[in-house]
Amino acid sequence: MWQRNLLFAVVCLFGFGMLASNILLRDHVPTPRSFEPSRFGNLTNVSSSATPANKQPEPKNDWQATLLKLNAEFEAKWTGEGLQTTPRAGDLTLARRLSLGLTGTIPSLEEIRALEQLPEGQRLEWWTSRLLEDRRFGNYVGERLARVYVGTEDGPLIRFRRSRFVEWISDQLLAHRPYDEMAQEMIGSNGLWTNNPALNFITVTTTEANKEQPDEVRLAARTVRAFLALRIDCLQCHDDNLGTNHLGDDGAPRESKQQDFHQLAAFFAPAKVGLTGIQESKDEYNFKYLRGEKEELVPAKVPYGDDLMSPGGSRRQQLARWTTHAGNKPFARAIVNRMWAIVCGRPLVEPIDEIPLHGPYPPGMEILAEDFVAHGHDLQRLIRLISASEPFLRSSTADFEITQQHEKGWAAFPLSRLQPQQMAGAMIQSSSLNTLDEKNAHIIWLLAKSQQTQQFVQRYGDLGEDEFTDRGGTIPQRLLLMNGELVQERTTQNLIANAATRIVVVTPSAEAAIDAAYLAVLTRRPTAEEREVFVPRLAAARRADRRVVLEDLYWVLVNSTEFSWNH
Amino acid sequence: MSTFTSPGSCNSPSHFSRRGLMQAMGLSGISFLTPLAEQLARAAESEPKGTQPHSLIVLWMQGGPSQLETFDPHPDTEIAGGSKDGSKSIETAVKGVHISENLPLVAEQMESISLVRSIVSKEGDHERATYYVKNGYRPDPTLVHPSLGAIICHQTQDNLEIPRHVSLLPNTWAARGGYLGDQFDAFKSQDPLGPVPDVRARVPEPRFEQRIKDLSVVEGAFARGRLKNLDEGRTLHRSSVEAARKMMSSEQLAAFDVSKSPEALRKEFGDTSFGRCCLAALQLVEVGVRCVEIRLDSWDSHANNHEFCRQLNTTLDPAFASLIKHLRERKLLDRTMILWAGEFGRTPRINGLGGRDHWPHGFSMAVAGGGIAGGRVIGETSPEPKLDEKNRLQDVADPRAVEDVHATILTAFGIDRQKEIQTPIGRPMALSQGKPIRELLV
């Protein structure tokens, strides 16, 4: 009998030890393969105020060269507008921003511990590299991009596989696939949407109303908006009467016409769904213009940059090559603006998918677009440049009064409300001390996480495609966070499932426990004032009451503005 | 050739107007408009002069209800399913107006209900059509339009402790605030026999109060060094916490609860989840809630249509009829408008599985109550449709666009339907692009 008791005691001790090791630090987070400590030299550690524009160091490589040019443009703007910049944000704040942008969740306590063991100058590079190799990056950014290409619709039941499409984007992102190739596959390829998931870009438009065939009008509107950040939807019905939508070549802007839209739609007219999936037919596109007397045959023609067209292949392939041509700058600008928004919470140009064809452009846009094209449409490089740039590094707080102007000009990092998916992801991650990724979390955890995220998002209210709209919280959202099931489940006492209980059980010191809770939920340590409130309370509590104190603290942190906003 | 040619995204009024449709009809040689329909359709062509309604209840028939088995029956015809097995109709309280034989209680209330039997749309996909009918604009990838309920809430003011816009038994397509902001999204709640979600604190009150107090410590730390008017100008955190707490302790919450209603009353509404929601809607508008949406699901009758519809009508009939009856008894009918609608209708032919497929080319909606002249019928569908794909309109007399129903409702509420709202990206957008159906207004 004593042997069984001894075995039980050993098992308990082992389990306890494992729990404690999660909290009391251990670096078992591997070094990312792409980690290059000197990628940007020490440029990302020097505040702009410390490095005047006229004393920029000589670039040692093309990473630094682009970053220096990028920062110089912003610094010139700040100087020109007399905007004082906020100090550099702390490494943990930067890590939180990057995690939210690239994985839709927050760093785990385990990751924070590993990050803090690195030399200060290497942390950002290490963290960016780690996230870009994480499957969560593919899945989360894949979903964000899928919204741009196919919206949030369920789409036609048989001819559309949204989850396969998202998975495909995720795979491409992780495999470092050039973005122009991805776009070409979506716009121009043929075959079955199940074997070639990129084709769901086409098949999502095959509604019953369109006789279950691709809708060339929707495809034209979607293509220019998603890949070129041009909103010319209005042209489907009439010419641009307001004079706000200029097309035409560089140096020769002209008012846009209904023809511009429908000539684009004509590229998609031959696409048909058949037994072998999407194939090219000989169909032409006919349309009756607003003041036309009868339907007419519409030729396939692009609204600018005709010289970038090349013959050969199907109409869609021609359009795909034109869209992604190195000389078609709007293609690069569109994804720069999109990635900037994903990483920083707000785009450089608003609305995100309406960038004027003939400018003007804000600081950063042209430099990043040129670098993107020059380096093979490399999305990961683009993300690294954005996350190393001065605007991304700015704090969202200062000892001077921050105004809307500071945020607008990126002299202060702008606050942005978290997406519902980020809220759910952050809440679920905060309740675990380990990283909930595919490598470390059990499949049951991940399934539960996926289901809970869906339920939470449904109740919290999905923003759909309109996802960079900045608004305050609503009453139902507040109720969901104060009294909802997910928050209750993730904060209430549960030794197995919840970090609040685990922290208090294995951390004898009140101060260390409060620190751990703040790190796990808000990715920071408490302020002196917060410490003063919570540490004595936990220290004074005994046994079960200690769990109550931590449970309440978790509830408070999850319900704070800070948790719901990117900052 | 694409079908996407209406001004769904451009806000241009010129393409899908009633006049255009009437002209098209004229060209197509409509010949089956009955004298009764003509008489009813021409009645009361005037500005609304009755009492403006305060609340709107939308009975949302998800899946696309068959017009033939609800409000536009054509008994003894081929499209009804033949003279032997086909769906039948009954007389209503309004002479000459017949509806499905499976809606006898609604038929008794017909004097308060008007029908539009000639709604035409170009959306035959559930999601897109739901968007169109709920929001009055076709889906536009650059913008999310607000639902009728959201617009009415946006254009009016109330002093309520509970949400002004409520969706009962919602699915993922519940009424949304769209570009007006998610503060105009409908508050979602399920069967009123169960609790209202998220309004009860999970811990005893003293502990909850302590949590709120502690929250202010963390809020203070976050606000330091940020925008001056962080809460009012950006996050709205404090105000939403206060409003949420007010709601949690509000007596008005009882309006969601039907468990204390007399059993006989619940039975009168049918005592189904839909019936209970209709009873809850009655209570909600009684305390001043502006807009309530109630979903009755499963109208997607691709197979065994008649049986599907019969069962659903068994649920719909007592709930819809009792709602009107009790609103009248409580003197709320004049201040409450009811809209019965789904995303589209069903094909006027029975398929191989005994079902009907999606049909946006002539289907029905019903409106009742405040601001609406009851007992009127607008438009007709042909009992012997030609089903010519190139000329759908020849099978519909006096066709009306979805947005015309929106314009009618907004007009009845005294809201300027043409008023332009600036969307978040500064694009002016009219509240409705339709034209009111004057014949429906009091």
pLDDT tens digit string along A228-281? 999 888 888 788 766 677 888 887 888 889 999 999 999 999 999 988 999 999
* A556 contacts B214? CB cut-off 8 A: yes
Instruction: From B215, B332, B236, select the one nearest B283 (Cα to Cα).
Output: B332
Helix/strand/coil for A191: strand
With beta carbons under 8 A apart, name residues in chain A contacting B3.
209-210, 215
Q: Is A121 within 8 Å of chain B by CB?
A: no
Element spanning B278, H or E: helix B273-287
Q: What is the sign of the dihedral through the CA atoms of A296, A297, A302 and A306?
A: negative
Asked if the model's pLDDT at residue B383 lies above 90, the reply is yes
Q: Please tell me the distance in Å from B338's CA to the nearest CA on chain A.
A: 25
Residue of chain B nearest A157, judged by CA positions: B125
Nearest residue on chain B to A566, judged by CA atoms? B235
Kindly provide the ipTM of the predicted complex, given to two decimals: 0.88
Tell me how close the Cα of B209 comes to any Cα of chain A, in angstroms. 11
Pick the residue with more confidence: B39 or B246? B246
On the question of a cis peptide bond just before residue A360, with omega within 30 degrees of 0, the verdict is yes
CB contact under 8 A, B14 and A469: no
Identify the CA nearest to A519 among candidates A507, A303, A377.
A507
- pLDDT tens, position by position, B255-308: 999 999 999 999 999 989 999 999 999 999 999 999 999 999 999 999 999 999
Q: Which of A397-406, A470-479, B11-20 has the highest mean pLDDT?
A: A397-406
Using an 8 Å CB-CB cutoff, list chain B residues near A488: 202
Across A33-42, A533-542, B18-27, which has the greatest mean pLDDT?
A533-542
Examine the pLDDT at B326 and tell me if it is beyond 80: yes
Query: With contacts defined as CB-CB under 8 Å, which chain B residues touch A258?
Result: none
The residue in chain A having the minimum alpha-carbon distance to the alpha carbon of residue B162 is A475
Selection from A306, A338, A334 nearest residue A322 by Cα:
A306
Q: What is the pLDDT of residue B1?
A: 40
Which residues 224-263 in chain A show a CB within 8 A of chain B?
A: 225, 231, 233-234, 236-238
**What is the tens place of the pLDDT at every residue in B329-377?**
999 999 999 999 999 999 999 999 999 999 999 999 999 999 899 999 9
Q: Which of residues 299-328 of A touch B (CB under 8 A)?
A: none
Give yes or no for A493 touching B (CB within 8 A).
no
- Option in B224, B235, B360 nearest A561 (CB): B235
Calculated CA dihedral for residues B136, B140, B146, B148, nearest 10 degrees: 10
Q: Which residues have C-beta within 8 Å of that of residue B249, sequence separation ≥ 6?
A: none
Percent of chain B scoring above 90 in pLDDT: 76
What's the confidence (pLDDT) of residue A8? 62
**Regarding predicted confidence, which is higher, B2 or A144?**
A144
Structure tokens given for B346:
């069903």
Phi, psi of A527 (to 5 degrees): -75, 170
**Cβ(A369)–Cβ(A332) below 8 Å:** yes
A233 Cα to chain B: minimum distance (Å)? 7
Alpha carbon distance A328, A311 (integer Å): 16
* DSSP labels, B418-441: T-EEE-TTS-EEES--S---GGGB
Residue in chain B lying closest to A468 (CA): B424
CB contacts < 8 A, A to B, total 212
Q: Tell me, what's the pLDDT at B5?
A: 35
Residues of A whose CB is below 8 A from B137: none
Confidence band (pLDDT; 50, 70, 90) for A26?
A: very low
- Torsion angle (degrees, nearest 10) of CA A107, A110, A115, A116: 120
Give the pTM. 0.84
